[in-house]
Structure 1
Amino acid sequence: MWGAARYAKTQVIQVFMQAVPDLQWKMFGEPIVNGESIAFEWEFNGTNTGPWSAETPATQRPLSFKGVSFIHLKNGKILTQHDYYDALGFNKQLGW
């Protein structure tokens, strides 16, 4: 479990914050809560001014995309989290 959390932090969150340092995250509406399950819609906005990796430099393009997250808790701790978004639209905005 901790390996997955460490991977998410170093390979997803930090990379995204490096690539889009002006990132803005907004949640729409109120989360839907059903027992230990939570769902909510969100949107990311920002400009790709930093590199994604050594092989993928910044595009200097703005991006905006919506998604939804589903979280399942167990004893008040996150057991699973699944995030869904339009990856094709995201890549097209960056010119990939």
Structure 2
Amino acid sequence: MSYYDASVGKPVVGKQQATHDVVKTFVDAVPDLRWEMTSKPVYNGDTIAFQWRFTGINDGAWAGTPATHKKISFDGVSFIRVAQGKIIYQGDYYDSKKLTDELK
């Protein structure tokens, strides 16, 4: 499994590494996070794409910066590839500048 966050620019490889480096980072920074699909998924062979919205309150450290306790809300798109019934790739693309501005 490979996870790519466009704002970071390099993929994280492996389910355990993605869980620790990506999922845990978001949950620790925004404990009340809500990641909501905002469009119906689009399928093309082994690829799925959908839009989403991430919301919550920044009550934990994020990328080495202390919590701001501010509400955040940003939209993005995920592209997922599947092989043999398992996710082998997920790429997330979102407006990281908006997120940075909201955290100020």
Q: Which has the higher contact order (CA 8 A, sep 6+)?
A: 2
Partner of 1:69: 78
> How far apart are 1:10 and its partner, in Å?
0.8
> How far apart are 1:51 and its partner, in Å?
1.8
Partner of 1:39: 49
Deviations along 1:46-92, whole A, 9 cap, x unmatched? 01011226x42101111000000001111221121111000111101
Give the partner amino acid of 1:10.
H
Of 4-13 and 62-71, deviating more is: 4-13
Structure 1 stretches lacking a partner, 5+ long: none
Match of 1:9 among 14, 19, 25: 19
Q: How many pairs does the alignment contain?
A: 94
TM-score by length of 2: 0.82
Partner of 1:27: 37
Considering only CA atoms, is the larger Rg found in Structure 1 or Structure 2?
1
Partner of 1:83: 92
> How far apart are 1:22 and its partner, in Å?
0.9
Cα distance in 2 between the residues matched to 1:84 and 1:46:
18
Structure 2 stretches lacking a partner, 5+ long: 3-12
SS of 1:33's partner is: strand
> How far apart are 1:20 and its partner, in Å?
0.5
- In the TM superposition, structure 1's runs of 4+ consecutive aligned residues that sit over 2 Å from their partners are 1-4
SS of 1:6's partner is: helix
